[in-house]
Amino acid sequence: MAQITIDPLTRIEGHLKVNVNVNGGTVSDAEVSGTAARGIEKLLKGKEPRDAAYITERICGVCFTAHGWTSSIAVENAHNANLPDAARVVRNLIAGGAWLHDHPLHFYHLSAVDYIDITVLANYSGSDINLNKIKNLILSEVANPPIDGSYVGPFVPTYAPDQYSITDLDTVVTLVQHYIKALEIQAKAKKMSAIFGGKQPHQSSIIPTGVTMFPNADQRSQFRVLLDEVTGFIKNTYVPDVLGLGTNELFGLATSDIGVGYQNYLAYGCFPEKQGHLMYPEGAIVNGILMADNRDDIEPLITEDVTNAWYQSNSAGHPSSSQQNFNLDKSAYTFVKAPRYNGQPMEVGPLARMMVMANRTSHPSHSHSAVQQFIGLVNAGVKPGVVARHAARALETLILCDSMYNWMDELDSLEASGNTQIRDNNHWDPPRNGSGWGMTEAPRGALGHWIDISNFAIGNYACVVPTTWNASPLDANGLNGPFEEALKGCPVPDENNPINVGRIIRSFDPCLACAVHVIAPNGDMKQYKI
């Protein structure tokens, strides 16, 4: 048996350490460690409840909008506020822009390098300026590799190419050109979100009880122009790239069991529509069976386990009562708690959302061509593993693009009818005492915030974020978290080249910045009384 440690795993958000035991060329067991401690909840205690939306946005520089939105919902639920239609639509569009920024970025800039042998560009003979710059970088570093092995990157591979690496020059040229174009597109998507959100990152428009502005005609026009361009890239480049690789070069990987895991899926749902349903529906699937299809049934069954996390025992239980009390002397291996739904580890994220949409046959999203296309991939033999996560992420983006045009039309109709109220003024001031929870989806999966208000101040606050679910450790019942379970059986034919380990983890799109915070600069955690 050999033990392989990847620390840190790169091309993700935040700090993640992965230990795997390899027997006979496959992973037999895994431990995934969040190596920093989150202190946001402790920071919030005693603060004005409405401030939580802005403070929690600073958890992450990627999922900021989702945190501000979810926090606002929690405060609103604590005193039964009613969200006006205009506020609902503006929130959807601010968040939608952030999603359109996030999904292509994940594929091209974080994950695609796992499948491209970029060194074949050394044979490129065309006139593309950017490709020639990359070619020259490759030739320089291949000829004179750094003594410490620290390539300039991000293009030079960390690991050697394998059977799933794309070595065809024409395909690599196309994908690298799209990588570069995606940098421009994700910036424009973020600009869309900033037009309605005031700025990005860390928008300033979503507030408890509503939003701060109703976009004027000029702002809506700017938004539509950018939406057209971003949607064109998604429909004509991003989705074809993902599906093309999955059904051609990577079809062998797509139909393998690599990275499949439990097949338990959880989605809180996201993007409320005027008809009362959520554009992405909520649901919990355990062992292939849809166990719940609304948030009210899901929320009471969520717990957090800290058996193998550096927390005191009173940090466990339902999130509404959990604490951030650390125990650095404990025999544990992560700062990430272990959320469970009715005792079960659950995968969250695009694949979970797609599986819920595929199972919610009466929900409007089920009939969308993107969902039906995903069902077609499954019927063709694609397993719910590494490639399926990328496919689900790309296909659900098509649903979002279509919905964003509908929301833009709805904004125009609201203005024409004079229905431009953007805040529930009757509930602007928070209650003296109360409690509430907010549940929605971040691009990476199910996101929940819980708040307790005492004497107009925050008495307790808890966040259970997507990567807390996915990166959770072994619990008291002996159940691994989704990352750890998905790594079991991972092929590692060369112990010096564990490329599949990275592929599996990155297919989830981890965001450890949300899951953990606060790190000791010199590595000695015990001197910090957090």
Which pLDDT tens digit goes with each residue over 363-405? Answer: 999 999 999 999 999 999 999 999 999 999 999 999 999 999 9
pLDDT for residue 520: 34
Tokens of 341: 């739904």
180-194 pLDDT tens trace: 999 999 999 999 999
* pLDDT per residue as tens digits for the range 473-506: 999 999 999 999 999 999 999 988 899 999 999 9
410-469 confidence digits (pLDDT tens): 999 999 999 999 999 999 898 999 999 999 999 999 999 999 999 999 999 999 999 999
Pick from 88, 83, 112, 94: nearest CA to 11 = 112
| Short-list 273, 179, 190, CA closest to 230 | 190
Which helix or strand (DSSP H or E) is residue 183 part of? helix 169-197
> If DSSP codes are grouped into helix, strand and coil, which group holds residue 350?
helix
H helices of 208-321, in order, are 217-233, 239-247, 251-254, 295-298
Closest CA to 66 of 271, 302, 281: 271
* Contact between 451 and 75 (Cβ < 8 Å): yes
Q: What is the C-alpha to C-alpha distance for residues 8 and 18, in angstroms, rounded to an integer?
A: 8
Q: Please report the sign of the dihedral spanned by the C-alpha atoms of residue 368, residue 371, residue 373, residue 375.
A: negative
Average confidence (pLDDT) over 133-155: 71
H or E element that contains 451? strand 445-454
pLDDT at 147: 63
Residue in 267, 217, 280 with CA at minimum distance from that of residue 447: 267
440 phi, psi to nearest 5 deg: -155, -165
- Written as one letter, the residue type at 123 is N
Rounded-to-integer distance, Cα 455 and Cα 436, Å:
15
∠ CA 406-411-417, nearest 5°, is: 125
Confidence of residue 526 (pLDDT cuts 50, 70, 90): very low
Paired strand residues for 116: 166
Query: What is the DSSP secondary-structure string of 186-230?
Result: HHHHHHHHHHHHSSSSS-SSEETTEES----HHHHHHHHHHHHHH
Q: Residue 420: count other Cβ atoms within 10 Å of its Cβ.
A: 15
Cα→Cα distances 334→41, 124, 299, 478, 506, Å: 18, 45, 25, 16, 18
Separation between Cα atoms, residue 14 and residue 59, nearest integer Å:
11
How sure is the predictor about 39, in pLDDT bands with cuts at 50, 70 and 90? Answer: confident
Out of 3.40.50.2020, 3.40.50.720, 3.90.320.10, 1.10.645.10, which CATH number does the structure's domain 2-117+157-527 have?
Answer: 1.10.645.10
